[in-house]
């Protein structure tokens, strides 16, 4: 499959990111949280981090910009369709909030749009309705990466996402590590999370102030039961606001955050060994056990 809108009939996956930015006629604006990934080697690798068995029937990209990653994702769709001897079986949706870039993407990839392979949704990824995607690959706007990630994770789909390196390290941290916190427990509740590549700031234009990392999130069921997911996530959030306290005092001090009317009843029912520990040393399963006690004994209310 080719796209003649560039005048070169270039196959997907071959577009130069700098040339794309020039054709778009507008530079990335760091004041709008725009930093274009321009390193061809990194761009070529990103789609390969999808799990081998990932369904590419409907890929989602958030923040298409000038289309360098869009181009690679279209190549992935075409390649996988060819390997499976199926045609017309792949689709890519791109969410782009900048109207100039959204219009450019439609023009640059006219053939893909006309063939029904690509659609460009103009709008904010935090506000628009998400299409029914099978996997998401994106270089996220860093200022809202947390909000977008936690809109995507509950969907239970494979994700390959670019984050600030510090944020990525917190996502993958284990209990007892200094980076471990609410983000770690919440992300790992939904998926197996791993950093698959670290990306230097020189790979972007303009360069961000921080290093970046690509994170793969492979959905899985946790090895513990949660009767009320919203309460579990509130409970984790609450206890990490008191991470220097013992779990006992953290439960007592944060009923207004977790929504517990009777935190003392939870403390009375909890295991003493857990109560003596600090939140940052608890495995996700321990948080789940405490959250279940909170559900059963703490008279939780909506927050």
Q: CA-to-CA distance for 101 and 105, rounded, in angstroms?
A: 6
139 annotated among ligand-binding-site residues: yes
Token pair, residue 293, equals 């006690």
96 annotated among ligand-binding-site residues: yes
Angstrom CA distances, 55 to 112, 134, 214, stand at 19, 6, 19
37 annotated among ligand-binding-site residues: yes
35 annotated among ligand-binding-site residues: yes
Q: CA-to-CA distance for 13 and 39, rounded, in angstroms?
A: 13
274 annotated among ligand-binding-site residues: no
98 annotated among ligand-binding-site residues: no
The torsion angle over the Cα atoms of residues 237, 238, 239 and 241, rounded to 10 degrees, is 90
Annotated binding-site members: 35, 37, 63, 96, 124, 139
Annotated binding-site members for S-adenosyl-L-methionine: 35, 37, 63, 96, 124, 139
């Amino acid at each position: 499959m080719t796209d003649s809108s560039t005048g070169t009939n270039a196959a997907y996956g071959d577009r130069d990111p700098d040339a794309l930015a020039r054709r778009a006629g507008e530079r990335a604006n760091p004041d709008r949280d725009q930093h274009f990934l321009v390193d061809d080697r990194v761009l070529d690798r990103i789609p390969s981090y999808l799990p081998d068995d990932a369904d590419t029937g409907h890929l989602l990209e958030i923040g298409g910009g000038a289309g360098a990653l869009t181009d690679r994702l279209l190549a992935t769709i075409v390649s996988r369709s060819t390997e499976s001897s199926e045609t017309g079986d792949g689709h890519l949706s791109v969410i782009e909030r900048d109207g100039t870039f959204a219009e450019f993407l439609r023009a640059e990839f006219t053939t893909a749009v006309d063939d029904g392979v690509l659609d460009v949704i103009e709008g904010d990824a935090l506000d628009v309705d998400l299409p029914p995607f099978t996997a998401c690959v994106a270089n996220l706007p860093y200022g809202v990466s947390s909000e977008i990630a936690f809109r995507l994770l509950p969907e239970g789909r494979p994700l390959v996402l670019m984050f600030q390196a510090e944020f990525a390290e917190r996502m993958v941290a284990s209990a007892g590590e200094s980076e471990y916190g609410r983000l770690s427990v919440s992300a790992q509740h939904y998926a197996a999370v791993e950093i698959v590549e670290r990306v230097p700031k020189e790979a972007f234009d303009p360069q961000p102030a921080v290093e970046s990392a690509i994170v793969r999130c492979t959905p899985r069921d946790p090895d513990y039961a949660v009767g009320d997911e919203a309460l579990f996530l509130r409970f984790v959030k609450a206890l990490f606001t008191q991470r220097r306290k013992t779990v006992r005092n953290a439960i007592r001090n944060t009923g207004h955050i977790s929504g517990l009317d009777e935190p003392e009843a939870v403390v009375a029912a909890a295991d003493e060994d857990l109560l003596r520990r600090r939140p940052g040393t608890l495995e996700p399963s321990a948080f789940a056990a405490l959250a279940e006690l909170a559900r059963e004994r703490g008279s939780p209310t909506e927050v």
